[in-house]
Amino acid sequence: MSNNADNSVLSGLAVSGGLAAGPAFIYRGAGAYPVAEYKVAPGAEDAEVLRFRRAVASTRRDIENLMNSLRTRASSGDTKVFECHLMIIEDEFFLGEVESLVLKESINAESALRRTMDSARSKFERMNDPYFRERVRDLDDIERRLQAELAGCAKGVALELKEPSIVIADDLTPSEMVQLPQNLVLGFATNGGSTTSHVALLARALGIPAVAALGDVTQRVSAGDMVLLDGSSGRVELSPSRERIAEFRAIARLRSESSLAAAPAHPPGELADGSRIEMLVNAHHGLPTEAIVSSRASGIGLYRSEYLWIGREMEPSEDEQFEAYRDAALLAGRLGPGAFVTIRTLDIGGDKTMSGGVVREPNPFLGNRSIRYLLSHRETMLAQLRAILRASAFGRVKILHPMISCVEELKECAAALEEAKASLVRKGVPFDGSVQTGAMIEVPAAALNAGNLAEFCDFFSIGTNDLIQYTMAADRGNDAVSRLYQPLNPAVLKLVSATVEAAKKKGLPVAVCGESASNPVEGVYWAALGVDALSMSPAYIPQVAAALSRLSRRDLDEYALVPESLPAGATAAEAEQACRKWLSARVPGISEQSS
């Protein structure tokens, strides 16, 4: 994105709202660290190999300790990425390569390690394949740890984060984000990234302000520099004056006080006339439970099960899945009587990759992703359905199938569910026999054909992230086409309206669970179009609920007509402006929360 004329202010993509002020912590991959090559003294090669082995052993211990400490934090016990790192570090071929370079060329261990890693990285990068790009990140991570160990200094960059800071990075993978001590991360500012990438979703889910696509922020900031970050407007201020820091902190305080004051006393989602839009949360394995419980949502509208798969070599077992889903069902129960969790079946593929297993395809967003993958891997599907059904004995559970494109898929899903039920019945395992099944509406074909799909499911949940990407043919993770990512484009509005209309005809409830639900201008608009529920990261519920609490159903009906009242040929930006203007007149301060 462009930099401001005042070069101390950078503009990027506003990916996760909120204000943060603090010192910069520069997070670099190993590749960014210069490594000097030198010859070891003749005869000292064996000692150098020993030094390398000690570094490996110590790094292995560090990774194991980190895994243990994650396991003790029930809410963030996903240790699978580290299992993958352990596998690499224990790989005989990799260790042998480094050691033979030290022995044959009499060079220091750091440079033998760098050469080995560089050659592995360049092989993977040349393949230009998402699977291997993921592996390059793993290699970077491991090299960083090993180099730090060899240098006898830090125990890994993530652990160097000692004080509350704004993390500045080229880009971050979800696993890197999870490794950072979240209580010390005030915000994220990255060179790359996009609004709907999974890193952005994670920042939003964790309620951490973030700005992406800043271009060269890592080059403009030094470690410890004061940085002001506005995740709602996408601005990052460098070298601010003392007065500006004080002013910024005062604004942050005011905003948090006013958002608390704006939080309605009545349950979130209640309109001014007492009618309701159900407010639900988006969750996944590893998300802190406190945020969900304190959200006062009436259920979990989307539980992204694929977080159990992402970054792993092996699929999670049925038992491991059962434990995660059971915990989610129990967690939902803490939200109140009747609260439920909507467990989405595996949505792997596209930008959500598993390290192994999923076949790599030239065009993964249009390939065998999501429900297509699951339906073509019957054992995986049956194991997941059995795990979900078993969890339904512990709380109210609904099943949601992602990326449904046609009736046939829903029929096949229903048949698989019956088979999973039958196998549990045979074994005498308890489950809720009346568990409801829903379809995600995130492919234009599904929205246009929603009337037929409604015959084969109990509810709809609209995934605007994918629906917009597929309608506009604009990759949700590609900044170069982000201008086409238009939630209020007339084509998108027609598809959402068609879905709502079809659902109403059949008496099916319909929710929106894409990120757009959490933007007050858009979320309130979906409510105006007639959706029954909005599901979002817990951090966003107060602002959307505050906006809804100031409006009646009649107001919403009027709001629904705002884009239609524009002259023919109006653009999505004009529709957005008109909606914002209408809403700002009734809900003061809304612009700041949704820009």
| Cα separations in angstroms, 307 against 284, 285, 335 | 6, 6, 22
Q: How near is the Cβ of 544 to ligand PEP at its closest, in Å?
A: 16
**Interface segment toward ligand PEP; rule CB under 6 A; list 29-37, 115-123, 169-177, 462-470:** 462-470
**Interface segment toward ligand PEP; rule CB under 6 A; list 184-192, 459-467, 554-562, 587-595:** 459-467
Q: Edge-to-edge strand order for the sheet containing 165-169?
A: 9-11, 235-238, 226-230, 19-27, 165-169, 185-190, 210-212, 13-16
Q: Which residues bind Mg ion (CB under 5 A)?
A: 442, 463, 466
Check binding of 514 to ligand PEP (CB under 6 A): yes
Site string for ligand PEP, 400-439 (x = CB under 6 A): ----------------------------------------
Token look-up 């800043």 returns 214
| Cα separations in angstroms, 363 against 360, 369, 399, 469, 475 | 9, 10, 28, 14, 11
User: Could you say which of 84, 413, 457, 513 is catalytic?
Assistant: 513
Check binding of 475 to ligand PEP (CB under 6 A): no
Check binding of 442 to ligand PEP (CB under 6 A): yes
Of 113, 60, 118, nearest to 89 by C-alpha is 60
Check binding of 29 to ligand PEP (CB under 6 A): no
Q: Is 198 a catalytic residue?
A: yes
- DSSP letter for 415, please: H
The smaller minimum CB distance to ligand PEP, of residues 410 and 536, is found at: 536
532 contact choice in ligand PEP, Mg ion, none (CB below 5 to 8 Å, kind-dependent) = none
The smaller minimum CB distance to Mg ion, of residues 196 and 321, is found at: 196
Of 392, 486, 471, 469, nearest to 430 by C-alpha is 392
Q: How near is the Cβ of 366 to ligand PEP at its closest, in Å?
A: 14
Helix orientation angle between 572-586 and 553-560, rounded to the nearest 10 degrees: 160
Q: Which of residues 271-330 bind ligand PEP (CB under 6 A)?
A: 302, 304
Strand partners, 533: 278, 511
The CA-based angle 455-350-535, given to 5 degrees, is 55
Q: Looking at 463, 477, 523, 542, which residue binds ligand PEP (CB under 6 A)? A: 463
**Interface segment toward ligand PEP; rule CB under 6 A; list 387-395, 417-425, 457-465, 490-498:** 457-465
Rounded Cα distance, 198 and 202, in Å: 6
Check binding of 513 to ligand PEP (CB under 6 A): yes
**Interface segment toward ligand PEP; rule CB under 6 A; list 82-90, 227-235, 460-468, 556-564:** 460-468
Which pairs from 565-574 meet CB under 8 Å and 24+ separation? 570/490, 572/486, 572/487, 572/488, 572/489, 572/490, 573/486
Q: Is 513 a catalytic residue?
A: yes
3-state secondary structure of 302: strand
**Checking DSSP bridges between strand 210-212 and strand 185-190, what pairing results, if any?**
parallel
Q: Which residues bind ligand PEP (CB under 6 A)?
A: 302, 304, 347, 442, 463-466, 513-514
* Active site members: 198, 513
